Amino acid sequence: MSGPLEGIVVADFSRVLAGPYATMLLGDLGAEVVKVERPGSGDDTRAWGPPYAPSGQSTYFAGVNRNKISVGIDLATPEGVLAARELIDRADVVVENFKVGTLERLGLDYASVSAHHPGLIFCTISGFGSGEGRDLPGYDLLVQAMGGLMSITGPAPGEPTKVGVALVDVITGLHATVGVLAALHHRDATGEGQLLEVNLMSSLLSALVNQSSAYAAGGVVPGILGNAHPSISPYEVYATADRPLIIAVGNDRQFASLAEVVGAPQLAGDARFATNPERVANRVALKEELLGLLQAAGADEWQRRLTAVGVPCGPINDIGQVFALADRLGLAPIVDAGGTPTVAHPIRFDRTPATYRLAPPDAPEA
Catalytic residues: 169
- 233 vs 249: CA distance, rounded Å: 7
Q: What is the chain's Cα-based Rg?
A: 24
CA-CA distances (angstroms) from residue 64 to 18, 172, 182, 304, 361?
9, 14, 22, 36, 11
Secondary structure of 225-288 in the HEC alphabet? Answer: CCCCCCCCCCEEEECCCCCCEEEECCCHHHHHHHHHHCCCHHHHHCCCCCCHHHHHHCHHHHHH
Host H or E run for residue 204? helix 200-207
- 324 vs 65: CA distance, rounded Å: 24
Any idea how long the chain is? Answer: 366
Residue 72 β-bridge partners:
37
- 93 vs 234: CA distance, rounded Å: 46
Residue 334 β-bridge partners:
343
> Residue 302, Cβ neighbours under 10 Å: how many?
26
- 151 vs 91: CA distance, rounded Å: 41
- 262 vs 126: CA distance, rounded Å: 50
Residue 36 β-bridge partners:
71
Residue 337 β-bridge partners:
340
- 201 vs 197: CA distance, rounded Å: 12
